[in-house]
Amino acid sequence: MSINIIVCAKQVMDPETPSSAFSVDSDIKQVTPVQGIPPVVNGFCENAVEAALQIREAAGGGTVTVLSVGNEFVMDVMKKPLSMGADSMILIQDQLCENLDALGTVNVLSAAITRAGEFDLILCGQQASDWDNAHVPLGLSETLGIPCLTEAKNIEIGDDSVTVNSSRTDGYEVFEANLPALITVNNEIGEPRYPTLRGIMQASRKTPEILSLSDLGLSEDQMAPAMALSDLYIPVSEAQCEIIEGEDDADSGRLLALKLREAKII
Amino acid sequence: MSTRTSEDERKQIVSMVRDFVRREVEPIAQTYDNEDIYPHELIPKMRDLGLFGITIPVEYGGMELDFTTFAMIFEEISKGWMSLSGIIGTHHVLSHIVSTYGTEEQKQRILPRMASGELRGGLALTEPEAGSDAQNISTVAKKEGEEYLINGRKMFISNGENGNVFALMAKTDPQAAPAHKGISCFIFEKPVEGFSVGQHIDKLGYRGIDTCELIFDDCRVGSENLVGGEEGKGFHHVMAGLETGRINVAARAVGVAQAAFDAAIEYSQRRKTFGRNISDHQAIQIKLADMASKIHAARLMVFDAAEKKDSGERNDLETAMAKLFASEMCGEVAMEAMRIHGGVGYTKALPIERYYRDAPLMIIGEGTNEIMKLLIAKRLLQQHAV
Ligand SMILES: Cc1cc2nc3c(=O)[nH]c(=O)nc-3n(C[C@H](O)[C@H](O)[C@H](O)COP(=O)(O)OP(=O)(O)OC[C@H]3O[C@@H](n4cnc5c(N)ncnc54)[C@H](O)[C@@H]3O)c2cc1C
């Protein structure tokens, strides 16, 4: 069996950037890039790459193509999925993609996917750690007119169908859909593999295909945001500490429980 | 001589090793070090990642990365746990000797298995009565037909228990003058009758990894294992191998020092005395500035030595200088990091005490710093002879 998978992966600011280095410019409503801390491939997108590689390995053949939209890619960062073992990569890099909203991203991705040709499966990270919106995969499946299965913790490919166990807070649900389908994953699908030294050296011989919006026949007004960001600020958190003292440990515990109930925490 | 690894590849490699160290090494380092536990479970992962074949040529199954990248890998590993780098340290000294001086048959027989990590190597040079004075070894290899009969004892051999192939230095001509002309290098693969591992040595630092005594008692080694098929070249082989060893040891020192500095600069901004963060006291700021400047200098020296090694130029002066400077610097920086941490730095609660215990290994191993100075001075006097 051979299966062709497209993985959508986003370059995001490193979520482990220390909070002391994180700042936003409220005037232009943008996060200020942090000098010296390179971006990363979004964590759940790496999980999606891992899932795709496992599916390809289980199928015994096929291709994994990684697709990303952005305005300024850092190549050694974005090549990680290739070093992990993906076959090829398409990067839509365009200045106009700087402030894309979910709808714009969906339009670009679906145009790129249509251009790329036949596929069996699209895998996406459930959400990106920058804005945590989780909009794009849903919009993408809608636009492409294919089923969308979310939060997969297990994916099994049948003849012309896919079965997915979707995590829910109280367990999981089992869904089946026809191929082609779109599936979102998070860290429950399994840790992404390390790119090995060999993988890195092999990936360095693979050149990502870099396309602009005009290569995809998309115009600037098609990218106009449908959603406006009206305010961007870092919430101020105030920490107050109150020491609860009782007559003995048991009494302190009782008083603490009372306080917590008053504060509607328990 | 190896081809240059690209910037792009280097960045990816460093990021991969950093990720591995953070996820798998840091969580176990303190416990394994304290209890002197060998990290067996990390070996398959290190094999998968390709860490046993860093500089081995591609045609023999390795990665053929340049020595700058090699140094970067050692630095990253040592930031997490210096001991772990020892597993691939002398391994690469041996692989360098075989790939530079071995016969084609030896390369094909040994290198692919070393690159995959099926064979894990070491260097068996030091003896109870011969460390700095390496020419004074008394292990003897006596030719008997198509075999050599080996008798002697090796001391302080890293990977002695868990490794299975060694560059073994022995005298094929004990009467030779000068003595180094009588020394030959053998590829010694375990198990062989007459060979045994002696005591496992308990150590101040560099714990978890095995440092052992190796005993050769009428042990037979086929003559196909004489490196390059030529007697009397062993001293030359091992000295070239030790250049790579000195690069890795210097890189380890940079890694340990960087870890100590990172901990110190963070702690200095959390710890308050006399109403302010200790980082607001100039006395602490001066320490931080000195530490970071020395680390930077050492790292540049390591990269410079590595680049010389890659270019195929003579590099014994630069590697010795890098090893000397980086290891002394590491000892100083680890001590300063401890001072900045105050009492808690002296406890087992933090890795600072481990950095402090690990630092002297780099001062003593791969040739002591006294020997480095002799070597440096000798070269300088040659260069500036009047
Ligand atoms: C943890 C550990 C791991 C090791 N791993 C290995 C290994 O894998 N393989 C291996 O072969 N060896 C290994 N060694 C051995 C190491 O290389 C030697 O310990 C080192 O070279 C010093 O030799 P020595 O201990 O015999 O000291 P000595 O040579 O006895 O030196 C004692 C002191 O005298 C000084 N000195 C000696 N000669 C001179 C001189 N001419 N002028 C000025 N000062 C001098 C030395 O610098 C030192 O300060 C290891 C050692 C340790 C501690």
Per residue in A36-47, pLDDT (tens digit) is 899 999 999 999
Q: Do residue A197 and residue B51 have CB atoms under 8 angstroms apart?
A: yes
Q: CATH number of the domain at B236-383, please?
A: 1.20.140.10
Q: CB–CB of B63 and A198 under 8 A?
A: yes
Mean pLDDT of all residues in A29-35 = 89
- Distance from C-alpha of A183 to C-alpha of A144, rounded to nearest angstrom: 13
pLDDT recorded at residue B60: 98
State pLDDT tens for residues B131-179.
999 999 999 999 999 999 999 999 999 999 999 999 999 999 999 999 9
* Residue among B197, B364, B378 whose CB has most ligand 1 atoms within 8 A, to mutate: B364
Q: Among the atoms of ligand 1, which is closest to the Cα of residue B123? A: 9
What spacing in Å lies between the alpha carbon of B118 and ligand 1's midpoint?
29
Predicted confidence at residue A224, as pLDDT, reads: 84
Whether A254 shows a pLDDT value over 50: the answer reads yes
Q: What is the ipTM of this complex?
A: 0.90
- Alpha-carbon distance of B233 to B250, in angstroms, equals 26
For the domain covering A3-223, report its CATH number: 3.40.50.620
Give CA–CA dist A137/A142, Å, rounded. 9
At B1 the pLDDT is 47
Quick one: DSSP state of residue B279? G
Ligand 1 pocket mutation pick from B94, B138, B155, B156 by most atoms within 8 angstroms of CB? B156
Decide if domain B7-116 falls under CATH 1.10.540.10.
yes
Res B2: pLDDT: 55
Alpha helices in B102-212 (DSSP H): 104-116
Q: Do residue B50 and residue A194 have CB atoms under 8 angstroms apart?
A: no
> Looking at residue A20, what is its pLDDT?
86
What residues of chain A lie within 8 A of the CB of B8, using their CB?
75-76, 79, 204
Please name the member of B7, B16, B65 whose beta carbon is closest to the beta carbon of A195: B16
Q: Band of the pLDDT at A228, cuts 50, 70, 90?
A: confident
**Helix, strand, or coil here: A21?**
helix
Task: Could you list the beta-strand ranges (E) of A76-233.
Answer: 88-93, 121-125, 148-157, 161-168, 171-178, 181-185, 209-211
Instruction: Tell me, using a 6 A CB cutoff, whether residue B371 lines ligand 1.
Output: yes
Domain range B121-230, its CATH number among 3.40.190.10, 3.40.50.300, 2.40.110.10, 1.10.10.10: 2.40.110.10
How near does any CA of chain B get to the CA of A199, in Å? 9
Indicate if ligand 1 lies below 6 Å from the C-beta of B81.
no
Kindly list the distances between the CA atom of residue B186 and the CA atoms of A230, B94, B97, B208, in Å, as whole numbers in the listed order: 73, 10, 10, 27
Is residue A205 within 8 angstroms of chain B, CB to CB?
Answer: no
Could you say which of B9, B19, B53 has the minimum Cβ distance to residue A194? B19
Q: What is the pLDDT of residues A44-86, one digit of tens each?
A: 999 999 999 999 999 999 999 999 999 999 999 999 999 999 9
pLDDT in tens, A153-204: 999 999 899 999 999 999 999 999 999 999 999 999 999 999 999 999 999 9
For CATH 3.40.50.620, list the domain ranges present in chain A: 3-223
Q: Is B7 a catalytic residue?
A: no
Query: What is the A261 CA–ligand 1 centroid distance (Å)?
Result: 67
Residue A220's pLDDT band, with cuts at 50, 70 and 90, is confident
Q: Is B15 on the interface with A (CB under 8 A)?
A: yes
Domain locations in chain B? 7-116, 121-230, 236-383
**Cβ distance of A200 and B11 shorter than 8 Å:** no
pTM, entire model? 0.92
The closest-lying atom of ligand 1 relative to the alpha carbon of residue B159 is: 8
- CA A79 to chain B, closest CA, distance in angstroms equals 8
pLDDT tens for the 386 residues of chain B, in order: 456 889 999 999 999 999 999 999 999 999 999 999 999 999 999 999 999 999 999 999 999 999 999 999 999 999 999 999 999 999 999 999 999 999 999 999 999 999 999 999 999 999 999 999 999 999 999 999 999 999 999 999 999 999 999 999 999 999 999 999 999 999 999 989 999 999 889 999 999 999 999 999 999 999 999 999 999 999 999 999 999 999 999 999 999 999 999 999 999 999 999 999 999 999 999 999 999 999 999 999 999 999 999 999 999 999 999 999 999 999 999 999 999 999 999 999 999 999 999 999 999 999 999 999 999 999 999 999 99
Q: Which residues of B touch A198 (CB under 8 A)?
A: 50, 63
